[in-house]
Amino acid sequence: MNSTVVINQAASGEGIIIVIVIYAIIWAINAFSKSNQEEKIASISKLSLEVDKGKAPERFKLEDVECFNFRLKGWINNSRQDKIKVIIHAYDNTNLEEGEKQGFPLVCTTNYFQDEKSRVFKIQATWDTTADTYLPNWYDFISVPVDSLVPPLKGKRNIMFRIVAGEPSLNSERAFFDDVEIKKILHFSDCFVEHTFKEPGYMDTATNRERVEELSIEIAVAFATADGDLQKKELDVIKKWIVDITSTLEEKKSKERKDALSTILKNSYKDSKAKKISVSSILSQMNEKLSKAQKYEIIELLLSIASSDNKFGKEEDSLLSKIVKKLEVDEVIFANMKNKTIINVDEMETSTSTSEATFGIKEEMTNEEKCKLLRKHYSKWNAQTNSNNAKTKNRAKEMVKLIATLREKYNC
């Protein structure tokens, strides 16, 4: 009886020892796993941003447009909430003063990549996350066309791209975070890229504004008087343009500027009559001082002058094509702008050369590229031959005939 008790007690003691050993093994395994996990976690980099220039990944469908390509990698974990917001801005850090960490922000010409209250460049997205969310490999986040970004100043600039990740309510205004928003930030990462901007920056544009307005009037007068004189309807278009660009100024400044530009208009007309206006000189200055957006605004003004008499003549079309070429703007965009104008005029004169420019055909294009472009325009204009608007319908038929002639020329 006593021996049995002893045996049972011994067996019970052995069981306790076995259980202790098992728990020790489990603890050791867990500790080892935890150690490995911690090593793995430690090996993962913090949220990192990489930006390069070049062709965008195919999934973004930006074809051969040069882009800034943004890639992300590393921890995006958020221990505070189940969502995280990422925001990207760009700053011109070319000539920072001592103690400054970031320069003036870049702005963007595309609404999709703009701040809610300004033209400042901004990309933002909100993601679902957990405490262990991370990107193990470089992830192609987004691509932005290089030409859509505008720095403060023209030339070679050192651009700092910064990504900030934080709480879902995180927000910035004009590329800066106030003290309240800074507390919501969890991570940030910077990447530097050098790029030479050929177009004037927004500070250049502000500095050059008055001279740009004067040059615009000079080229408008030169264009309008190319056929010998300045018609009243053409003059009215230029006068209205002056009124429009001065309307946003304070009343006193608006009157002063309007008077100054009216004087420029009168003097330009006198110089034109005396053949003292140099179109090539004006265009050279425009290329130096005008942004691409301003160039398109000038072309819009010239198109308004050309169609002011409800007629689009060969001479006007030819001169306009030369101006467009000299200003180095996209001829396809110009062709679309011109098409919107000529569809509303009563009379249109064209030659083979001007009709080619009308459809954005360039000399350097291959025959295949020209035919592809002509087929695209044919589909567009042919669809409008059934328009209920008589003027649109007739113009569309004329354009289809022009396209047919060109397609025959290029054996399309």
Q: Provide the whole-model pTM.
A: 0.64
- Nearest 5 degrees, angle CA 15-CA 18-CA 23? 125
Average pLDDT of the chain, as a whole number? 85
d(CA 394, CA 374): 19
Query: Partners of 134 in the beta sheet?
Result: 75
Domains of the chain, each with CATH number or no CATH: 48-197 (2.60.40.10), 199-309 (no CATH)
pLDDT, one tens digit per residue, over 312-353 is 777 788 888 889 989 988 877 887 788 788 777 777 766 555
Asked if residues 230 and 265 have their Cβ atoms less than 8 Å apart, the reply is no
CA torsion angle 320 321 326 331 (round to 10) = 120
The stretch 74-95 carries a mean pLDDT of 88
Main-chain phi, psi angles of 365, to 5 degrees: -70, 150
Nearest by Cα to 157 from 146, 145, 169, 167? 146
pLDDT of residue 8 exceeding 50, the answer is no
What is residue 354's predicted lDDT score, i.e. its pLDDT? 59
What is residue 34's predicted lDDT score, i.e. its pLDDT?
A: 44
Counting Cβ atoms within 10 Å, is residue 193 exposed (0-12), middle (13-18) or buried (19+)? middle
Predicted confidence (pLDDT) per residue in 379-405, tens digit: 888 888 888 888 888 888 888 888 888
Query: Is 163 buried (19+), middle (13-18) or exposed (0-12) by CB count in 10 A?
Result: buried
23-54: pLDDT as tens digits: 555 555 555 444 454 455 556 678 899 999 99
* Residue 394: per-residue pLDDT: 83
- What is the tens place of the pLDDT at every residue in 223-268? 999 887 889 999 999 999 999 999 989 999 999 999 999 999 999 9
DSSP alpha helix (H) spans, 183-330: 202-224, 232-246, 251-273, 279-289, 292-306, 314-327
Nearest to 84 by CA among 169, 161, 141: 169
Distance from C-alpha of 376 to C-alpha of 374, rounded to nearest angstrom: 5
Please compute the mean of the pLDDT values over residues 183-199 and round it to a whole number. Answer: 94
